[in-house]
Amino acid sequence: MNYKISLINGESTSIGWSADGMGNYEYNVVAIYNYDSTQPPLPNHITYVFAFHDGQPVALVDQSRDGGPRLTETQNNEVKSNFAEIAE
């Protein structure tokens, strides 16, 4: 992934791929998971972006239906805690 400026929690920030979670981005992405549902309303998807921000693991989520992704920190505690455990 190349250097990108994205909206995370409504703020412009840098995000990019990092094999080890360390890098020059505000959010250094180590994994992405996407699920495309066939249930209306379409398009219907959930995309998780697993990253490190200020050296801490953070699980971001996007469920936007139109336009570019709008990432926010997931409210899914199971996803958050599982990624934190993996990151340790």
Q: CA 83, CA 72: separation in Å to the nearest integer?
A: 15
Show pLDDT as tens, one digit a residue, over the chain (88 residues). Answer: 444 556 687 778 889 999 999 999 999 999 999 998 888 877 688 999 999 999 999 999 998 877 777 889 999 999 999 999 999 9
pTM of the predicted model as reported, rounded to 2 decimal places = 0.84
Cα–chain-centroid distance for residue 5?
Answer: 13
- As for how many domains the chain has, the answer is 1
Residue 18 contacts residue 28 (beta carbons within 8 Å): yes
What range defines the domain where residue 22 resides? Answer: 4-87
Residue 60 contacts residue 73 (beta carbons within 8 Å): yes
DSSP string, 13-55: EEEEE-SSS-SSSSEEEEEEEEEEE-SSSSSEEEEEEEEEETT
Give the pLDDT score at 6. Answer: 65
